[in-house]
Structure 1
Amino acid sequence: MRNRLVGGLVTAGLVLAAGIATAPAASAQASQYCGYTGAQPTLRYNSTGDAVKQLQCELNHVTYSSWNSHLDEDGDWGNATDAAVRRFQGCTGLGQDGIVGPQTWDKLNGWVLTHGWINC
Structure 2
Amino acid sequence: MRNRLVGGLVTAGIVLAAGIATAPAASAQASQYCGYTGAQPTLRYNSTGDAVKQLQCELNHVPYSSGSTRLDEDGAWGNATDAAVWRFQRCAGIGQDGIVGPQTWDKLNGWVLAHSSLDC
* TM-score normalised according to structure 2 size: 0.90
Counterpart of 1:31 in structure 2 is 31
Q: Which runs of 5+ in 1 are unaligned?
A: none
Deviation at 1:5, TM superposition (A): 2.2
Q: Which runs of 5+ in 2 are unaligned?
A: none
Deviation at 1:115, TM superposition (A): 3.9
Task: Specify whether residues 69 and 5 from structure 1 end up closer, same or farther in structure 2 by C-alpha distance, changes over 3 A only.
Answer: same
User: Structure 1 vs Structure 2: percent identity of aligned residues?
Assistant: 87
Counterpart of 2:5 in structure 1 is 5
User: Alignment length, in residue pairs?
Assistant: 120
The yes-or-no answer on 1:19 pairing with 2:19 is yes
Counterpart of 2:97 in structure 1 is 97
Contact 1:86 1:98 in 2 (8 A): yes
Normalized per residue, which structure has more helix? 1
Contact 2:43 2:101 in 1 (8 A): yes
Contact 2:63 2:115 in 1 (8 A): no
Moved more, 49-58 or 5-14: 5-14
Q: Over the residues paired in the alignment, what is the CA RMSD in angstroms?
A: 1.5
Counterpart of 2:61 in structure 1 is 61
